[in-house]
Amino acid sequence: MNNFDHQISALAACPRITDVAALYFPQYARLQSSKRMFIIQIKANKKLYENLLLVGFDETALHLTPKQMGLIVDEWGEPDLVSKKIANSRASGRGVKM
């Protein structure tokens, strides 16, 4: 594998933050709104935020690394589960704790 192929492979494993945010917060029509809520919820979860910072998380970056994605999924679960949790909390009138 040449250097270019390696870079392409690495990028494929590093999803865009806006894409991940849209999976976790699909109720927002705009990607930037999903990303804003994604960052707010990450910062609200002190343990997750601190662990993400330890592996180089930067909210202004375009992509998440596989380690960062692993930490998020370990803490929050798969995006579909979070979306269902949000929908259920709205139906019940209670807030969501991420």
Q: What is the DSSP string of 21-59?
A: HHHH-TT-SSHHHHHHHHHHHHHHSHHHHHHHHHTT--T
CA separation for the pair 16, 92 (Å, rounded): 32
pLDDT at residue 13 in the model: 73
Boundaries of every domain in the chain: 15-92
Tens of pLDDT, residues 15-36 = 999 999 999 999 999 999 999 9
Residues of the chain with pLDDT under 70: 1-12, 81-98
pTM above 0.75, yes or no: no
C-alpha to C-alpha distance for 88 and 98, rounded to whole angstroms = 13
